[in-house]
């Protein structure tokens, strides 16, 4: 089971990388639209984060504990960051301010943070961080 947890962790690193690079590229392109597939990517990223957390909880219940308590923060952090991203994107869409930040940019930034958190989670397990 822990090998599945590690494999999903590596897959999430790739998924988060795709997200922030995609959003960054879309932000600087003249069209300023990542397309509908970006939102499919977001769904995959969210489901992946939830699946990873579920596998982690199962491992915890089986008595497998990470060596560093920060692994919990790094592991559950992406879920919190994505939830904050949803709240912020919704607020930016509703707000009538001069802020013209598109919702996909919020999720691109969230994906960048999730990438960093997931990388640190893997580093704690591999003993390199």
Q: Kindly list the domain boundaries of the chain, sorted by start residue.
A: 2-126
**Confidence band of 129 (pLDDT split at 50, 70, 90):** low
Over the stretch 81-95, which tens digit does the pLDDT of each residue have?
999 999 998 888 777
Q: What percent of the chain has pLDDT over 90?
A: 56
Predicted local distance difference test score (pLDDT) of residue 39: 95
pLDDT of residue 71: 82
Which H or E element spans position 114? helix 103-126
Mean pLDDT, range 10-24, rounded to an integer: 95
- Beta carbons within 10 angstroms of residue 12's beta carbon: 24
The answer to whether 55 and 64 are in contact (CB under 8 A) is no
What are the structure tokens assigned to 81, written together? Answer: 């960051």
At residue 110, the pLDDT reads: 97
Q: Which two tokens stand for residue 53?
A: 């957390």
């Amino acid at each position: 089971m822990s090998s599945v947890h590690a494999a999903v962790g590596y897959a999430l690193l790739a998924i988060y990388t795709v997200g922030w690079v995609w959003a960054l590229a879309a932000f600087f392109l003249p069209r300023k639209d990542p397309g509908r597939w970006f939102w499919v990517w977001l769904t995959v990223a969210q489901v992946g984060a939830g699946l990873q957390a579920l596998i982690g909880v199962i491992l915890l219940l089986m008595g497998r504990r990470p060596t560093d308590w920060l692994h919990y923060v790094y592991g559950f952090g992406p879920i919190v960051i994505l939830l904050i991203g949803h709240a912020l994107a919704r607020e930016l869409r509703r707000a009538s301010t001069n802020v013209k930040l598109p919702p996909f940019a919020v999720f691109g930034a969230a994906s960048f943070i999730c990438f960093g958190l997931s990388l640190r989670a893997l580093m704690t397990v591999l003993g390199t961080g």
